[in-house]
């Protein structure tokens, strides 16, 4: 009896700036992209709710070693707050828990924005992935348990009113840091305005260096996959591993030093311009990324090396 051979995975490395469709989970998106590229490894750079659409950075191959840098980057969202109802999930999926007939004026909304800009205290939604005694909060909430999460500081760099299509809705754009929940933001704005609110539309348009202009749809990726089953043509849909490392210093070394680093050895940096200390540097050799290193007392040490 002949055993079926396992399909050989492609050694593909880089970032797919995926335009995640509404209704798909982040885990499903990673699985789909990994399958389309027939990649060995895949991971995402920051969860996007199933009921949200937009930019989900997906790392393939050695790019998975840089995921934390994408997750730490600032995010830009567009969202619509629906006034008059608060829901247990803080979005359209949940059950209505309270109602209000009050509707805010444009002036009231705009005067509120500064209160939610800068470092603020925010309580995450009960239906979130935060762990409580080892369990995900959303699992406890779905089981009917009361979930109480502590408020924590988050940073909102910008918050602006984009549109007021009718009295029941207002659309905003927000630039924020890691850990910010847009559902909590809409809920808290509704409470502050005395009208209650939940998110009826959420779309992410930027994560770190990735922007709306870089996004590629599932339909386009499937089209490329059908045109080139071998996967080579799909590499054009990838952004380089080092894209998310633009925020750290770059350090070019010669081939001999690169080989020492790959063997786990330190490299002594010489010359007047040699850095003295850095927690993280992007190490390159011959124009190609070698990995992420640390510099201590003029010595370069390997931290995360890329096997390309």
Give catalytic residues, as residue numbers. 49
Give percent helix, percent strand, percent coil of the chain, each to the nearest 5.
25, 35, 35
Q: Could you tell me the two tokens for 261?
A: 């680093």
Q: Which residues contact 8 (CB under 8 A, 6 or more apart)?
A: none
Cα gap 125→141, rounded to integer Å: 10
The per-residue DSSP string of 196-247 comes to -EEEEEEEEEEETTEEGGG-B-HHHHHHHHHH-TTSSGGGGGPBPGGGGGTT
Query: Which residue do the tokens 């500081």 mark?
Result: 153
Number of Cβ within 10 Å of residue 81's Cβ equals 26
Number of Cβ within 10 Å of residue 139's Cβ equals 14
Q: Which residues contact 49 (CB under 8 A, 6 or more apart)?
A: 91, 183, 202
């Amino acid at each position: 009896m002949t055993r079926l051979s396992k399909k050989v995975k492609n050694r593909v490395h880089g970032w797919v700036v995926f335009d995640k469709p509404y209704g798909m989970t982040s885990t499903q998106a990673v699985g789909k992209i990994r399958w389309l590229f027939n990649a060995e490894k895949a991971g995402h750079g920051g969860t996007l709710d199933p009921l949200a659409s937009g930019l989900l950075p997906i790392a393939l191959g050695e790019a998975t070693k840089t995921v934390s840098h994408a997750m730490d980057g600032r995010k830009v969202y567009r969202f619509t707050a629906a006034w008059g109802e608060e829901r247990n999930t803080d979005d359209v999926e949940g059950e209505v828990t309270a109602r209000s007939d009050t509707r805010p004026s444009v002036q009231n909304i705009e005067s509120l924005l500064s209160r939610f800009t800068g470092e603020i205290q925010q309580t995450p939604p009960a239906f979130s992935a935060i762990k409580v005694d080892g369990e995900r909060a959303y699992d406890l909430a779905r089981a009917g348990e009361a979930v109480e999460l502590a408020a924590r500081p988050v940073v909102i760099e910008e918050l602006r009113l984009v549109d007021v299509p009718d009295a029941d809705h207002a659309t905003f754009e927000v630039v924020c840091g890691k850990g910010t929940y847009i559902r909590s933001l809409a809920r808290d704005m509704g409470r502050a305005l005395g009208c209650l609110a939940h998110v009826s539309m959420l779309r992410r348009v930027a994560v770190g260096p990735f922007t709306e202009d870089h996004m590629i749809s599932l339909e386009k990726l499937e089209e490329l996959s059908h045109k080139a089953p071998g996967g080579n043509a799909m590499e054009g849909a990838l952004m380089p591993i080092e894209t998310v490392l633009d925020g750290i210093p770059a350090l070019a070394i010669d081939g001999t030093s690169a080989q020492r680093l790959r063997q786990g050895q330190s490299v002594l940096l010489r010359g007047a311009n040699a850095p003295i200390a850095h927690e993280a540097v992007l190490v390159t050799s011959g124009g190609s990324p070698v990995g992420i290193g640390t510099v201590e007392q003029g010595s370069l040490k390997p931290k995360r090396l890329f096997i390309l």
